[in-house]
Amino acid sequence: MAITTDVVEERARSRLRHGLRIATLLVAVVTVVGLGGMANMLSHLDVYESALAQVVALVALSAVLAGEGVLLVRRRSWGRLAGPAIAVVLVVSALSYATLPEGRTSTGPDWIFGAANWVGVVVLLDRPLRYAAGFLVAHELTALLHLVLFDDPSWPDMARYATGSVGVVGFPLCVAVVTSVLDRLSAAAVASQRELEEVRVAEAVVAESHRRRRQRFAELSVTTVPLLEGLADGSLRPEDPVVQRRCAIEAARMRRLFAETDTVADPLMHELRHCADVADRKGVVVELDARGQWPVLPVAIRRDLTEAVLTVLATAASRARVTVMGDADLVSVSVVADCGEVEVPSPATPDVRVETLNSDDTVWMEVRWQPAPQSVPPSASRAVPQPVG
């Protein structure tokens, strides 16, 4: 769910950035080849020292805008090409100023003063704000150096340059700032949405876990509560071997219940170890052996596989051996112990079978899960490797 949510949110952010790039490109196209740059250049071709240099500068800026259009169609960014593209913009700006007549900086013939700024911002729009701000500063310095070094500016010239810089820097910078703010707001919204989804998922997991725990406690109360009531009212005596065996079985079931909520690689072996721990506390020597590999099984199937084992272990007198064998389509749990005849409840799942053999004071019991091909549980798709004992 988290992966799907991240993909959807990233697509939303991508659409937002794509729309901003399209809008900025349209402004740049109108400024450079529309009513702004090209119109001013064509109307002043006779005043330039080299009209060809101005035409080359216009073509170069138009080529950069065309590259942005291609990238937008392909939904890609400039990437490593952003640096060379900005270098082209700055170089043609310097070329245009080199052939600009004296005293014409930030006037009508200086068409590139209000055109190259938009082209640079178009290239750097998906970069951090400092890149666009740095380019605008470099663009301003290019015009200022030409003004100071070649025009011998007066105070009116400097005032004209400063006034023009308000729009040349201010408008593109505002676009870059708005883009940066929207991107941060989008990132914050994505983070908030992700946190909200995580909270909802956590709440759902807690609610489902609580529901299952209550259900399991209700199942235990069928056998545990009468035992406790009998011990409380004296109808059952603690020294009675039958009562002791019932207590051991209920204790093993409790341990298994607690183990079911643990997050482990192999829940079946984890629950069997908890069942064996009850017998170990009674002084029974328990050997637990695992061979092969098997799927991660649902809780209902694991309960059927462990019910016979915990019953035998709770009844064992001194020794027991538990063996687990499995592969992708079969899991077998068998137990051999020195105990008398025991009764285990019938498995709740139809794919689980129980076989029992008794010989004097020894019992062998095997519980086997072997589902039909169409009934393999969805959660049993991942096999858990086990060491060879």
Locate the domains of the chain by residue range.
2-195, 237-385
| Helix, strand, coil percentages in the chain from 3-state DSSP, rounded to 5 | 65, 10, 20
- The distance from CA 220 to its chain's CA centroid, rounded to whole angstroms, is 39
pLDDT of residue 1: 46
Bridge pairing between strands 285-295 and 319-327: parallel
Residue 278, pLDDT above cutoff 90: no
377: pLDDT confidence band, cut at 50, 70 and 90? Answer: low
- Cα–Cα distance, 249 to 314 (Å, whole number): 5
Residue 381, pLDDT above cutoff 70: no
| CATH class name, domain 237-385 | alpha beta
383-385 β-sheet, strand order: 352-359, 362-369, 330-337, 319-327, 285-295, 383-385
In three-state secondary structure terms, 251 is helix
Residue 333, pLDDT above cutoff 90: yes
Of 273 and 379, which is predicted with more confidence?
A: 273
CB burial string 6-28: b at 16+ within 10 A, e below: eeebeeeeeeebeebbeebbebb
pLDDT of residue 209: 79
Residue 378 CB coordination number (10 Å): 6
pLDDT of residue 324: 93
Model's pTM, two decimal places?
0.51
Average pLDDT, the chain: 82
